[in-house]
């Protein structure tokens, strides 16, 4: 079956403007143009749009989606299976948060009691699950399943106070890093402050600390564009600047070990 822009937009629940934009950037081109100048889409384009919308729902940007669906080795059925796994994980996260909210309401109304550590269970589990989905394969490949499992367990067992401090410290790292970037000196006082805060932040989840592992993680921030994008939010080149600051702080070269 074939569709015009308007018909496909209605079918998929997106705007015609979105489809035209996808065509302009080469993300979803029509199968052909009609004699009247209309864009015409076929079943192949419908399937591709479904994948695009799945990836958008999972939070990927259009550039990343373009690279995935344009790859000659792209496997549609395999991608759908992966979509399913991620959506199930997302549903599990939402179910956990809903349960947490319901328990909080019950406790607030005096119908039950809720321990302080239970109040943050859903948020901590979501943080662990999100990290696994985004970086799990790379981190487990670099440090091993045992280390990552211990790190996740440490996160999930955090007290309310430690969890709040963990979140606060993460924000402080980013704020000090932004200030340090302005100096342009990774060996400077502000940059070394950022590196030290980063070490303190890691201590909340790492089973143990080593300078080599700290430097190795910093290098990963530069090598992996997803990590780089997280830190580069504070200023352009922040991931590389933090890497250099941590190298000065640790006084060593990157290593693949998280253990002493």
- pLDDT, residue 172, reads 96
Does the predicted TM-score (pTM) go above 0.75? no
Question: What one-character DSSP code corresponds to residue 40?
Answer: E
**Domain over 123-250 is classified CATH 1.10.490.50:** yes
Residue-wise pLDDT tens digits, 122-158: 565 666 666 666 666 666 776 677 777 777 777 667 7
- pLDDT, residue 259, reads 37
pLDDT at 253 over 60: no
Residue-wise pLDDT tens digits, 181-228: 999 999 999 999 999 999 999 988 888 888 988 998 899 888 888 778
Residue-wise pLDDT tens digits, 29-69: 999 998 888 899 999 999 999 999 988 887 788 988 998 88
pLDDT at 256 over 60: no
Is the CA virtual torsion 137, 140, 143, 147 positive or negative? positive
All CATH 1.10.490.50 domain ranges of the chain, comma separated, are 123-250
What does each C-alpha distance from 144 to 135, 136, 154, 218, 259 come to in angstroms? 13, 10, 16, 17, 11
- pLDDT, residue 15, reads 93
Token output for 137: 């394969």
What does each C-alpha distance from 211 to 26, 142, 249 come to in angstroms? 45, 16, 8
Residue 221 burial (10 A CB sphere; 0-12, 13-18, 19+): buried
**Domain over 5-70 is classified CATH 1.10.10.10:** no
The phi, psi pair for 251, rounded to 5°, reads 65, 25
Question: Are residues 112 and 103 in contact, defined by beta-carbon separation less than 8 angstroms?
Answer: yes
| Average pLDDT of the segment spanning 100-116 | 67
pLDDT at 3 over 80: yes
Question: Are residues 218 and 246 in contact, defined by beta-carbon separation less than 8 angstroms?
Answer: yes
Question: Are residues 34 and 2 in contact, defined by beta-carbon separation less than 8 angstroms?
Answer: no
Q: Quick one: CA torsion of 167, 171, 172, 173, rounded to 10 degrees?
A: 100
- pLDDT, residue 5, reads 94
pLDDT at 236 over 80: yes
| Average pLDDT of the segment spanning 237-246 | 94
d(CA 16, CA 38): 12
Which one is predicted more confidently, 26 or 147? 26
- Mean pLDDT, the chain, rounded, equals 82
Token output for 44: 């192949």
- pLDDT, residue 56, reads 87
All CATH 1.10.1660.10 domain ranges of the chain, comma separated, are 5-70
């Amino acid at each position: 079956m074939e569709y015009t822009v308007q018909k496909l937009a209605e079918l998929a629940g997106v705007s015609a403007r979105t489809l035209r934009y996808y065509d302009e950037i080469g993300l979803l081109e029509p199968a052909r143009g009609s004699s009247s100048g209309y864009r015409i889409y076929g079943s192949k384009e419908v399937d591709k749009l479904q994948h695009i919308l799945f990836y958008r729902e999972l939070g990927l940007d259009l550039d990343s989606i373009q690279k995935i669906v344009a790859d000659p080795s792209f496997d549609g059925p395999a991608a759908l299976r992966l979509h399913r796994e991620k959506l199930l994980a997302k549903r599990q996260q939402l179910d956990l948060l809903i349960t947490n909210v319901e328990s909080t309401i019950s406790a607030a109304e005096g119908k039950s009691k809720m321990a302080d550590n239970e109040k943050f269970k859903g948020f901590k589990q979501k943080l662990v699950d999100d990290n696994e989905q985004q970086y799990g394969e790379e981190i487990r490949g670099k440090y091993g399943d045992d280390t990552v499992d211990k790190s996740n367990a440490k996160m999930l067992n955090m007290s309310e106070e430690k969890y709040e401090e963990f979140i606060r410290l993460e924000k402080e790292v980013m704020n000090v890093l932004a200030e340090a970037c302005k100096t342009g000196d990774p060996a400077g006082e502000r940059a070394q402050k950022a590196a030290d805060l980063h070490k303190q932040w890691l201590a909340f989840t790492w089973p143990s600390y080593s300078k080599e592992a700290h430097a190795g993680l910093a290098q990963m921030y530069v090598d992996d564009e997803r990590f780089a994008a997280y830190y580069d939010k504070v200023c352009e080149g922040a991931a590389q600047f933090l890497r250099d600051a941590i190298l000065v702080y640790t006084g060593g070269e990157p290593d693949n070990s998280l253990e002493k």
